[in-house]
Chains A and B, each alone.
Chain A
Amino acid sequence: MPRLTVNGQVHEVDVEPDTPLLWVLRDALGLVGTKYGCGIAQCGACTVHLDGAPARSCSVPVGAVAGRAVTTIEGLGHEGALHPVQQAWIAHDVPQCGYCQSGMIMAAAALLKETPQPSDSDIDRAITNICRCGTYARIRAAIHTAAKA
């Protein structure tokens, strides 16, 4: 039975080890802030952190995350203690439909951890997630704001 640590909590889940982490988070653990968009690591709606690094959970088998720390949007920040990226997102009113935003925020938070003062081209390279509503310009601006926080 795969065992994993999500947002600091240890879980044992009754699923096949080849089950993508995304579906374990969503259906077994009820952490539905992480979204499904494509299933082939193209869109990034499912982005979480594995030991602090961004990962597309639709393409990571749960069997591969044993012993690693998984962080989801639910564990990034919360009401009263939002992550600087979330605060910047609010300041720029980034989301439209909001569906891709958990993945975007997780990707942005991972970028800032690795590169605290990212250039525009750093952002171009790191944020390859898809947003159909077109929030890209605000995402770029919000990342720069979060970098100053």
Chain B
Amino acid sequence: MSTLPQVSRRSFIASVAAIGGGLALGFRLPAAVEAAAAPGEAEIDAWVVIRSDDTVVIRVARSEIGQGVMTALPMLVAEELDCDWNKVRAEYVAPEENLKRHHAWGPMSTGGSRSVRGSQDFLRRAGAAARHMLVAAAAQEWQVPAGECRTENGIVMHEPSGRRLRYGQLAAAAAHLPPPAAVALKDPKDWTLIGTAQKRLDTKAKVTGQPVFGIDVRVPGMLYAAIAQCPVFGGRLKSYDESRIRNLKGVRRVVALPDAAVVVADSWWTAKKAIDALPVNWQEGPQGRASSATIAAALQDGLAAPDAAVIREDGDFAAAIAGAAKRIEAEYRVPFLAHATMEPQNCTAQVTAERVEVWVPTQNGDAALATAAAAAGVPPEKVVVHKTMAGGGFGRRGTAQDFVRQAVLVAKAVGRPVKLLWTREEDTRHDFYRPMAMAKLVAGLDGAGRPIAWQVRLTGPSIIASLFPKRLNGGVDRSFASGFTEEMNYDVPNYRVDYAMRKTPVPVGFWRSVNHSQNLFFRESFVDEMAHAAGLDPYRFRRKLLAKSPKQLAVLDAAARKAEWDKPPAPGIVRGIALAESYGSICAQVVEASAGGRDGVTVHRVVAAIDTGHVVNPAILVSQIESGIVYGLTAALYGTITIADGRVREGNFNDYEMLRLADMPKVETVLVPSGGFWGGAGEPPLPPLAPALCNALFAATGNRIRSLPLKEAGPKRV
């Protein structure tokens, strides 16, 4: 029962070497192919391994964070490979192999709902190339033209003679053949696997407690660490009194990091008790007086400031608003939000003279490797990263892997493997938060109620400026206006969006659907305000503005139809609607709610329609819709991170509340894939939820919700 975790890809690589006749397409790549691989380019056939028993191992470079990539990405390869799906196993690519092979597996970063849309082309080509090589091997064996052979379900068949060979029998020979220079991909109408509701490959393990998450890693000789990070953002560790804990049984030592104290002990509970008992003094720095109010004041200033970057401008807003028959304006705001992954941040590290080894639940294996190398002060080639299962991600485990840096520093200091695990409180108080943001929106309607002028001012801290300043375009972060840029499809002839960037002391980061999460709340609520000002039904009002956007209109109609928008809801029930385009997909939702209940509002039903272009696995897409709705509803009802004295006030689930099963609405999904493109799935279902809900509440109460969460601004208080 105290067996070491088996990082499966390692045992797998070893077992392939041991099995005669194993084919590791891509692992013995010809030098020419390897040399041809440029950074960011994907090498064909690095993905497929076939064993002599016909098991097909398909490698996955992105991270499984619940969104189903361990199933969906292999389906893309398997579709073109024509293998037996029941014999497919998914395995992680090792980040150090990706480094060694010049990023043959492409980017490992798992965010921006990019896993399918950003890899589908090279994954399908990898499957097709492997199939081509298996056919060539069979044709060679039979001395027949390859064109006379066909493949099905893991078998190559020679039709004229009726001969057949299994992929497992052909693997060894195929491995010695050169990969094809080019391959043709199937026409979508010929797909037999893509588009089918296959079961997830990881379910059975996940119902028996078997998967090894980061927190579950055990390494021989491992010690445990608990951390106290400076509660004030930007503060430093000043001093601590180790004598107070030195005599506690099992405590090894305290490691000082620049902004944190870490206790290393024989068990995590001992380390946790000791860090709680350790007297620590902090150099709080200049942010000790920051509060939600001071940050709000800075943003309020941003709403009116002249120093804003124009993000999109159509027509002439100023002239059009002057001639408008009716003018409306409103200010909206949202708070900071923490990710609250169920598995708190953690990392296990071992630093020896030869190498640095980390075990980590990460959304980006490449970044974990780079972070570990930088922290240890070694070249990246000396780092080995074991990607573990991850208990949620939502953007927390991708870009800023502070937990990796800390674990490596502590392991280096103590000279033994160390598992660093944050408490829930540390996790809530040391996040990279969804930005606090505000918007001021002004619109002018003509006499017929048609919006002829629309101006949007956005303000708040930029994630890009904070994490990737080099990616700013002339100092401007266009992504802050996500949802208001080319993703705004309503036909408004005079339209202007600008952004007044404001810095805050609170670290900001990518939170599921990122800036779409607030901007679509602002946009879709305000569109509802326009509809109300025009005296029109909010669904029909939107329809009129989408005459030139048939895809958006189709999705909106699909949601309204399923929700029976034109029939009145049951007594006491109100409806709201919202439309959002994000990460290449279009999603519309109708929320049915009623006033009353524990939170002053009860959400009964959410109807969601989505167009992701193609759908790899409709069952997983439906799961992601349910998931995005829960994440968005949790934030809309409860989500707020408040700052007082430069620190986060909330700490655990008692004050940073989560939606629970009893409050889960009925979710109905309508998939309306229009084909021809590949949209994201993990994030697009989230943004429409909050505005659809608030629009429903407006329909119920006449009170417009312009600030979230509802527990603070909701029906009970407005």
Contact of A132 among B64, B205, B212, B392 (CB under 8 A): B392
Chain B residues, Cβ within 8 Å of A98: 66, 202, 205-206, 211, 389, 391
Contact of B206 among A40, A42, A74, A101 (CB under 8 A): A101
Query: For chain A residues 5-27, which have a beta carbon within 8 Å of chain B?
Result: 15-16, 19-20, 23, 26-27
Determine if B203 and A94 form an interchain contact, defined as CB atoms under 8 angstroms apart. Answer: yes
Query: For chain B residues 620-644, which have a beta carbon within 8 Å of chain A?
Result: 623, 626-631, 634
Determine if B652 and A35 form an interchain contact, defined as CB atoms under 8 angstroms apart. Answer: no
Q: Given A42-B653, A98-B206, do A36 and B215 touch, yes or no (CB 8 Å)?
A: yes
Contact of B269 among A20, A89, A128 (CB under 8 A): A20
Chain A residues, Cβ within 8 Å of B673: none
Determine if B66 and A137 form an interchain contact, defined as CB atoms under 8 angstroms apart. Answer: no
Determine if B661 and A73 form an interchain contact, defined as CB atoms under 8 angstroms apart. Answer: no
Shortest CB-to-CB span from A70 to chain B, Å, is 13
Determine if A134 and B207 form an interchain contact, defined as CB atoms under 8 angstroms apart. Answer: no
A45 within 8 A of B: yes
Q: Given A34-B209, A82-B207, A130-B653, do A97 and B218 touch, yes or no (CB 8 Å)?
A: no
Chain B residues, Cβ within 8 Å of A32: 209, 212-213, 215-216, 218
Measured in the bound complex, the distance between the Cα atoms of B218 and A32 in whole Å is 10
Determine if A137 and B666 form an interchain contact, defined as CB atoms under 8 angstroms apart. Answer: yes
Measured in the bound complex, the distance between the Cα atoms of B686 and A18 in whole Å is 42
Chain A residues, Cβ within 8 Å of B421: 36
B662 within 8 A of A: yes
A38 within 8 A of B: yes
Q: Given A99-B343, A99-B391, A139-B661, do A19 and B269 touch, yes or no (CB 8 Å)?
A: yes
Chain B residues, Cβ within 8 Å of A27: 224, 267-269
Determine if A130 and B215 form an interchain contact, defined as CB atoms under 8 angstroms apart. Answer: no
Shortest CB-to-CB span from B419 to chain A, Å, is 9
Main secondary structure of the interface of B (DSSP, over half): loop
Determine if B343 and A102 form an interchain contact, defined as CB atoms under 8 angstroms apart. Answer: no
B204 within 8 A of A: yes
Determine if B203 and A130 form an interchain contact, defined as CB atoms under 8 angstroms apart. Answer: no
A16, A99, A134 pick with most chain B CB within 10 angstroms: A134
Chain A residues, Cβ within 8 Å of B341: 132
Determine if B343 and A124 form an interchain contact, defined as CB atoms under 8 angstroms apart. Answer: no
Determine if A89 and B207 form an interchain contact, defined as CB atoms under 8 angstroms apart. Answer: yes
Determine if B67 and A96 form an interchain contact, defined as CB atoms under 8 angstroms apart. Answer: yes
Contact of B342 among A15, A28, A45, A79 (CB under 8 A): A45
B658 within 8 A of A: yes
B161 within 8 A of A: no
Determine if A93 and B215 form an interchain contact, defined as CB atoms under 8 angstroms apart. Answer: no
Contact of A35 among B342, B393, B658 (CB under 8 A): B342
Measured in the bound complex, the distance between the Cα atoms of B42 and A4 in whole Å is 53
B365 within 8 A of A: no
Shortest CB-to-CB span from B226 to chain A, Å, is 11
Chain A residues, Cβ within 8 Å of B343: 35, 37, 97, 99
Determine if A136 and B206 form an interchain contact, defined as CB atoms under 8 angstroms apart. Answer: no
Determine if A134 and B208 form an interchain contact, defined as CB atoms under 8 angstroms apart. Answer: no
Interface size class of B (residues with CB under 8 A): 35 or more
Chain A residues, Cβ within 8 Å of B1: 29-31, 74
B184-218 near A? 1/0 per residue, CB < 8 Å: 00000000000000011011111111111101101
Shortest CB-to-CB span from A132 to chain B, Å, is 5
Measured in the bound complex, the distance between the Cα atoms of B209 and A74 in whole Å is 7
Q: Given A27-B267, A93-B623, A127-B661, do A132 and B207 touch, yes or no (CB 8 Å)?
A: no
A140 within 8 A of B: yes
B619 within 8 A of A: yes
Contact of A43 among B200, B205, B213, B342 (CB under 8 A): B342
Q: Given A23-B268, A99-B392, A130-B342, do A105 and B207 touch, yes or no (CB 8 Å)?
A: yes
Contact of A134 among B269, B344, B630 (CB under 8 A): B630
Main secondary structure of the interface of A (DSSP, over half): loop
Determine if A39 and B215 form an interchain contact, defined as CB atoms under 8 angstroms apart. Answer: no
Measured in the bound complex, the distance between the Cα atoms of B394 and A98 in whole Å is 14
Closest to B339 in A: A132
Determine if A131 and B342 form an interchain contact, defined as CB atoms under 8 angstroms apart. Answer: yes
Determine if A97 and B626 form an interchain contact, defined as CB atoms under 8 angstroms apart. Answer: no
A90 within 8 A of B: yes
Determine if A90 and B204 form an interchain contact, defined as CB atoms under 8 angstroms apart. Answer: yes
Shortest CB-to-CB span from B584 to chain A, Å, is 21
Chain A residues, Cβ within 8 Å of B661: 123-124, 127-129, 131, 136, 139-140
A118 within 8 A of B: no
Measured in the bound complex, the distance between the Cα atoms of B419 and A26 in whole Å is 13
Q: Given A97-B65, A99-B342, do A35 and B391 touch, yes or no (CB 8 Å)?
A: yes
Measured in the bound complex, the distance between the Cα atoms of B424 and A97 in whole Å is 18
Query: For chain A residues 21-76, which have a beta carbon within 8 Å of chain B?
Result: 23, 26-40, 42-43, 45, 72-74
Measured in the bound complex, the distance between the Cα atoms of B630 and A140 in whole Å is 15
A33, A98, A137 pick with most chain B CB within 10 angstroms: A98
A78 within 8 A of B: yes
Chain B residues, Cβ within 8 Å of A31: 1
Query: For chain B residues 1-17, which have a beta carbon within 8 Å of chain A?
Result: 1-3
Determine if A82 and B208 form an interchain contact, defined as CB atoms under 8 angstroms apart. Answer: yes
Contact of B654 among A20, A29, A40 (CB under 8 A): A40
Determine if B207 and A95 form an interchain contact, defined as CB atoms under 8 angstroms apart. Answer: yes
Q: Given A93-B619, A130-B342, A132-B392, do A101 and B207 touch, yes or no (CB 8 Å)?
A: yes
| Given A35-B215, A97-B389, A132-B342, 16 extra CB contacts under 8 A | A15-B267, A37-B653, A39-B424, A40-B654, A74-B208, A74-B209, A77-B208, A93-B199, A94-B207, A95-B66, A97-B392, A101-B206, A105-B207, A130-B342, A134-B664, A135-B626
Query: What would be 25 A-B contacts, judged by CB atoms less than 8 Å apart?
Result: A28-B267, A33-B208, A35-B391, A37-B424, A38-B652, A39-B652, A45-B342, A74-B208, A79-B208, A82-B207, A95-B206, A97-B392, A98-B66, A99-B392, A128-B661, A128-B662, A129-B660, A131-B342, A131-B661, A132-B630, A132-B658, A133-B627, A134-B626, A134-B630, A136-B659
Which residues of A come within 8 Å of B, CB atoms? 15-16, 19-20, 23, 26-40, 42-43, 45, 72-74, 77-79, 82, 86, 89-90, 93-102, 105, 123-125, 127-140
Which residues of B come within 8 Å of A, CB atoms? 1-3, 64-68, 199-200, 202-213, 215-216, 218, 224, 249, 267-269, 340-344, 389-394, 421, 423-424, 619, 623, 626-631, 634, 652-654, 658-662, 664, 666-667
